[in-house]
């Protein structure tokens, strides 16, 4: 009997050793693979405990902030708030379910902050830093109000620094209710989540004239003294299609603009008989940079999202003389020099759209802008939106 | 004396530190009201130590500090994982349990009564269990109705039945041991114990198992089965029955898989939890994630997210320990239970009388099997069966009965050593 009791005890104790082995397996060997599983609620919890930095506009107005909510224990969890709806596409969103977008994604690592090993071990709260954007909230509010129910977009760049001053895209979305409305937003045919300023590709239409002029002048070909009075075909005749395409390359239209936000490259026309120079399609950001180059003596600025005093990266796209001539040809009205035109998207066969691209003040240019109104030919609305918004951007 | 004070004090210090930590994490300050539970534990532990030292001079000096550690840890986990009223209830059960422990250890005729009225005890236990068919409730509102409730207190008869079954088996087997081993009948090629001796045993045991299965108390049924086998093996020394029974158990499991949904669910969740990680296997997957997130050092008490596991404060408390105390904590618990089991078996080996020896074996085997079943269950080593982790999980009946069993062990330890001493003096 003693033997049986001792055997029984040994069997039980041995089983405990097996349990200890299983503990080591799950807590040490398998742990790294397990903790990163998407269904680990600790990931979300850890994310919610991060006090994300704020996003501010160029004058310190708050565009996004994290406010504490009562969490389990006295460890606060944070909720992201967006006081301004006008900045939805620029600021983007931060969602535990759908990730990040806009500047929330671009500056994610700064906003989240970092903890070192010791701070992690001590469960110190993770706190990110604020990011000051180059954008001007006042101008964006006005652009947002002025765009109103129009489908379209407005973008403005500082010519000298490349600072992105305003960027509004309509239709927009409510970033504070993103999780609840996501499914609808995704399904909406008007694509409210699309940032039309950098991702919307629109045919240049009448503005092909200005691209062609830039090409003609750069190539040293004599242009009519009053180019607005000749037809586009006649104007562009000396510049072969090859020359037009080369100009589009030169102006960066065939590349994705150097910006950290999601952006599209332009699209060259196929010249297959149905498409012409008018069907070169670019984003409003491409056009705003073109206008900035014209206003800035041929120097095309690299767009900057973050407010800084550093000089922008510049890229020479044509000579000072070309810029000078183009400026002389650009009509000015109310201190705003601009090119206006309509385009008819071939592929979609939709209604025409209105472009307004320019810079202001006309005499000493500081801000370049581009505006598109989709599905409508409405020059006066475009002019009025640009005029009111530019008034807020200029001193 | 100095050494024993230190050993009694360490578990209390551990418990106090845990409550200080909880208070700091959850309230950001020390809240005096939080310390009622550890203070009562200290009073009970010190009072029990003092009384035992006076009344039972040779009692086992390891058991009491050991279960103080486990109970203190358990109270801290209940405070961490369950609403405040649960901690209050568990603390009151702990006070009751201390009384039961001292009663079991000190009542002069205790062991004799247990041995003599074995059928009475067992039938009492079965009667209480049978009552749950008519009056049973579930304190959480839904699920198996395994409790008898009165005045806000709920008692689970199957917990008491565990102890009464051990007493019955120890008493029966000690009386019939010789007959069970020596009187055999020939059945084909095998010699098996005579039905006249083995059938009352099988009948009582089988009746209990059927009752438990009827109540869907799978965990308790598994433990009854295991403890019965362990005690039968200890009494007769015949391993063939253990082997045969294990094969039977697997067979029964296969049948249960097809008959009982709950069995099928547990087995499926065990075989491949990852396929239905958000569905039927949610609990076990979350438990494994808790273990994994604890790593070696743990997140620290109050700083993990064990609440993600459903019913973490009872069946899955081990996973909560794994998350917040890490591998160090879980291995510490494993060692503590190994120590508990080995002390019980040491006491068994030092006992001279068969009844006492089998009683200690039964208690040791129950503690061992119960902790192994739930630890291995939460670690996905075996299909999960819902039993408490002794002393740690929330559950008053379990705590009360476990403490009573430790009281019996304490008595047996003193008894055996006192006998040895008196003999040594005579020689």
For residue B408, give every residue at least 6 positions away whose Cβ sits within 8 Å of its Cβ, in sequence order, or none.
B104, B105, B110, B111, B359, B360, B363
Q: CB distance B292–A3 less than 8 Å?
A: no
Q: How far is CA A333 from CA A343, A358, B201, B352, B360, in A?
A: 22, 11, 107, 113, 102
In this structure, the dihedral spanned by the alpha carbons of residues A41, A42, A44 and A47, taken in order and rounded to 10 degrees, is 180
Every domain range in chain A assigned CATH 3.90.1310.10? 43-132
Q: Which residue of B has its CA nearest to A33?
A: B292
Residue B427: predicted pLDDT? 39
Q: What is the ipTM of this complex?
A: 0.91
Residue B412 and residue B347 in contact, taking contact as beta carbons nearer than 8 Å:
yes
Q: How far is A257 from chain B (nearest CA, A)?
A: 43
List pLDDT tens digits, range A199-219: 999 999 888 889 989 998 888
Buried b (16+ CB within 10 A) or exposed e, A341-367: bbbebbeeeeebbbbbbbbbbbeebbb
Q: Using CA coordinates, name the residue in chain A closest to B238.
A: A4
Inter-chain contact A4–B322, Cβ cutoff 8 Å?
no
For chain B, which residues make up each domain, given as ranges? 109-426
Residue B426 scores a pLDDT above 50: no
Burial A284-315 (b: 16+ CB within 10 A, else e): bbbbbbbbbbbbbbbbbbebbbbbeeeebebe
Q: Does A126 touch chain B (CB under 8 A)?
A: no
Mutate to test the interface with B, among A6, A11, A22, A23 (most CBs of B within 10 A): A23
Per-residue confidence (pLDDT) for residue B135, from 0 to 100 = 72
- Judging contacts by C-beta atoms under 8 Å, the chain A residues touching residue B365 are 8, 12
d(CA A366, CA A210): 20
Mutate to test the interface with B, among A19, A33, A49 (most CBs of B within 10 A): A19
- Residues in chain A within 8 Å Cβ distance of B235: 1, 4
How many Å apart are CA A62 and CA B359, to the nearest integer? 73
> A 282-311 residues with CB below 8 A of B?
none
A27/B302 CB distance under 8 A: no
Closest A-chain CA to B299: A121
Q: B77 with B317: CB under 8 angstroms?
A: yes
Percent of chain A with pLDDT over 70: 97
How far apart CA A196 and CA A147 sit, in angstroms, is 13
Work out the mean pLDDT of chain B and round it to a whole number.
84
Q: What is the pLDDT of residues A278-324, one digit of tens each?
A: 888 999 999 999 999 999 889 999 999 998 877 768 888 888 899 99
Q: Note the pLDDT tens digit of each residue in B205-232.
A: 777 677 667 767 778 888 888 898 899 8
Q: Which of A31, A42, A121 sits opposite B305 (nearest CB)?
A: A42
Q: Which residues of B touch A27 (CB under 8 A)?
A: 291-292, 294-296, 322, 326-327, 330
Mean pLDDT of A248-273: 89
Closest-CA residue to B362 (of A8, A2, A10): A8
Q: How far apart are the first and last CA of chain B?
A: 28
Q: Count chain A–chain B contacts defined by CB atoms under 8 A.
A: 135
Tell me the CATH class for A43-132: alpha beta
If contacts are CB pairs under 8 Å, which of residues 172-191 in chain B contact chain A?
Answer: 177
Topology annotation, domain A137-176+193-393: Beta-lactamase (3.40.710)
Shortest CB distance from B334 goes to which of A2, A4, A19? A19
Question: Quick check: helix, strand or coil at residue A40?
Answer: coil
From chain B, pick out residues whose CB is under 8 angstroms from the CB of A121. Answer: 297
Q: Which residue(s) pair with B186 in the sheet? A: B191
Residues 21-40 of A with CB under 8 A from B: 22-24, 26-28, 30-31, 34-35, 37, 39-40
Instruction: Flag whether residue B299 sits within 8 Å of chain A, measured between CB atoms.
Output: yes
Question: Which tens digit of pLDDT belongs to each residue from B268-312?
Answer: 777 888 877 777 788 888 999 999 999 899 888 888 888 888 888
- B/e letters for B259-294, b = 16+ CB within 10 Å, e = fewer, are eeeebeebbbbbeebeeebeebbbbbbbbbbbbbbb
pLDDT at B292 (0 to 100): 93
Using the Cβ of B97 and the Cβ atoms of chain A, whether some distance falls under 8 Å is answered with no
Interchain proximity B331–A23, CB inside 8 Å: yes
**Contacts A16 to B, Cβ<8 Å:** 334, 337-338, 341, 368, 372
Q: Which of residues 96-125 of A touch B (CB under 8 A)?
A: 121, 123
CATH 3.40.710.10 intervals, chain A: 137-176+193-393
Q: How confident is the model at residue A173 (pLDDT cuts 50, 70, 90)?
A: very high
Between CA B383 and CA B376 the distance in angstroms is 8
Query: Inter-chain contact B334–A6, Cβ cutoff 8 Å?
Result: no
Q: List the one residue out of B131, B170, B176, B180 whose CA is nearest residue B154.
A: B131
Q: Any idea which of A220-224, B334-338, B344-348 has the lowest mean pLDDT?
A: A220-224
List chain A residues with CB under 8 Å of B230: 8
pLDDT score recorded for residue B353: 87
Using DSSP's 3-state secondary structure scheme, residue A342 falls into strand
The band of B68, judged by pLDDT with boundaries at 50, 70 and 90, is: very high
Quick one: closest CA in A to B236, which residue? Answer: A1
| Per-chain mean pLDDT for chain A | 88
Instruction: Give how far B93 is from chain A: nearest CA, Å.
Output: 26
Q: Best of B234, B340, B359 to disrupt the A interface by mutation (most A CBs within 10 Å)? A: B234
Query: Which residues of B fall within a CB distance of 8 Å from A120?
Result: none
Q: What residue of A is the nearest CA neighbor of B359?
A: A5
B277 interfacial to chain A (CB closer than 8 Å): yes
Tens digit of each residue's pLDDT (9 = 90 or more) over B316-333: 999 999 999 999 999 999
For residues B141-151, give the mean pLDDT.
Answer: 67
> Can you give the pLDDT at residue B399?
95
- Chain B residue with the nearest C-alpha to that of A32: B292
Cα dihedral: A201, A205, A209, A215 (round 10): 30
In this structure, the number of other CB atoms found within 10 A of the CB of residue A395 comes to 4
Residue B2 distance to chain A (closest CA, Å): 31
């Amino acid at each position: 009997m003693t033997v049986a009791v001792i055997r029984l005890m040994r069997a039980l104790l041995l089983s405990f050793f097996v349990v200890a082995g299983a503990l080591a397996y799950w807590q040490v060997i398998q742990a790294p693979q397990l903790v990163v599983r998407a269904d680990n609620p600790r990931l979300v919890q850890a994310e919610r405990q991060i006090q994300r930095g704020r996003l501010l506009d160029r004058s310190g107005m708050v565009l996004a902030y994290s406010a504490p909510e009562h969490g389990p224990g006295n460890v606060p969890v944070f909720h992201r708030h967006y006081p301004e709806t006008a900045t939805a596409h620029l600021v983007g969103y931060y969602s535990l379910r759908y990730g990040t977008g806009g500047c929330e994604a671009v500056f994610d690592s700064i906003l989240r902050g970092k903890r070192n090993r010791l701070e992690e071990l001590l469960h110190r709260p993770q706190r990110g830093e604020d990011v000051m954007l180059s954008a001007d909230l006042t101008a964006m509010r006005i652009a947002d109000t002025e765009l109103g129910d129009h489908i379209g977009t407005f973008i403005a760049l500082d010519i000298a620094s490349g600072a992105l001053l305003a960027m509004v895209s309509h239709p927009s979305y409510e970033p504070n209710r993103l999780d609840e409305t996501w499914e609808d937003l995704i399904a909406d045919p008007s694509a409210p989540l699309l940032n039309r300023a950098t991702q919307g590709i629109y045919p240049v239409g009448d503005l092909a004239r200005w691209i062609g002029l830039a090409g003609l002048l750069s190539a040293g070909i004599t242009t009519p003294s009053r180019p607005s009075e000749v037809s586009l075909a006649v104007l562009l005749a000396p510049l072969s299609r090859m020359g037009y395409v080369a100009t589009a390359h030169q102006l960066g239209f065939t590349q994705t603009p150097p910006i950290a936000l999601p952006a599209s490259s332009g699209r060259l026309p196929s010249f297959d008989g149905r498409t012409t120079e008018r069907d070169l399609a670019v984003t409003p950001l491409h056009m705003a940079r073109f206008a900035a180059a014209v206003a800035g003596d041929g120097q095309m600025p690299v767009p900057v999202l973050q407010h800084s005093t550093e000089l922008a990266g510049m890229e020479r796209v044509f000579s000072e003389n070309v810029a000078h001539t183009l400026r002389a040809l650009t009509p000015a009205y109310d201190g705003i020099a601009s090119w206006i035109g309509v385009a008819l998207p071939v592929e979609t066969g939709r209604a025409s759209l209105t472009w307004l691209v320019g810079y202001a003040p006309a005499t000493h240019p500081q801000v370049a802008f581009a505006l598109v109104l989709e599905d409508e030919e409405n020059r006066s609305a475009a002019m009025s939106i640009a005029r009111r918004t530019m008034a807020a951007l200029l001193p | 004396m100095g050494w024993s004070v230190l050993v009694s004090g360490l578990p209390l210090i551990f418990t106090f530190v845990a409550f200080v930590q909880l208070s700091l994490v959850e309230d950001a300050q020390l809240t005096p009201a939080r310390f009622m539970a550890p203070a009562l534990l200290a009073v009970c532990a010190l009072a029990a130590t003092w009384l035992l030292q006076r009344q039972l001079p040779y009692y086992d000096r390891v058991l009491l500090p050991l279960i103080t550690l486990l109970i203190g840890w358990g109270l801290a986990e209940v405070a961490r994982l369950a609403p405040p009223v649960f901690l209050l209830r568990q603390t009151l059960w702990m006070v009751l349990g201390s009384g039961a422990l001292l009663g079991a250890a000190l009542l002069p005729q205790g062991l004799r009564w247990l041995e003599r009225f074995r059928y009475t005890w067992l039938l009492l236990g079965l009667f209480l269990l049978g009552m749950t068919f008519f009056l049973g409730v579930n304190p959480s509102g839904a699920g198996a109705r395994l409790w008898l409730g009165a005045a806000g207190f709920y008692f689970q008869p199957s917990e008491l039945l565990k102890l009464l079954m051990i007493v019955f088996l120890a008493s029966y087997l000690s009386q019939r041991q010789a007959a069970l081993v020596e009187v055999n009948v020939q059945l084909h090629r095998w010699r098996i114990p005579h039905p006249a001796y083995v059938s009352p045993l099988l009948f009582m045991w089988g009746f209990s198992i059927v009752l438990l299965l009827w109540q869907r108390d799978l965990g308790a049924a598994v433990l009854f089965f295991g403890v019965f086998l362990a005690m039968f093996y200890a009494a007769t020394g015949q391993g063939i029955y253990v082997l045969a029974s294990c094969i039977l158990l697997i067979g029964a499991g296969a049948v249960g898989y097809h008959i009982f949904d709950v069995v099928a669910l547990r087995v499926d969740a065990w075989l491949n939890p990852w396929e239905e990680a958000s569905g039927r296997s949610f609990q076990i997957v979350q438990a494994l994630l808790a273990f994994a997130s604890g790593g070696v050092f743990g997140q620290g008490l109050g700083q993990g997210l064990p609440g993600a596991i459903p019913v973490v404060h009872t069946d899955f408390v081990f996973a909560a320990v794994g998350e917040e105390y890490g591998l160090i904590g879980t291995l510490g618990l494993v060692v503590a239970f190994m120590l508990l089991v080995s002390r019980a078996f040491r006491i068994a080996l030092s006992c001279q009388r068969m009844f006492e020896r089998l009683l200690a074996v039964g208690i040791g085997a129950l503690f061992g099997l119960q902790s192994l079943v739930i630890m291995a269950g939460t670690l996905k080593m075996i299909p999960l069966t819902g039993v408490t982790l002794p002393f740690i999980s929330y559950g008053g009946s379990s705590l009360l009965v476990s403490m009573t069993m430790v009281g019996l062990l304490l008595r047996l330890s003193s008894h055996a050593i006192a006998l040895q001493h008196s003999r040594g003096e005579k020689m």
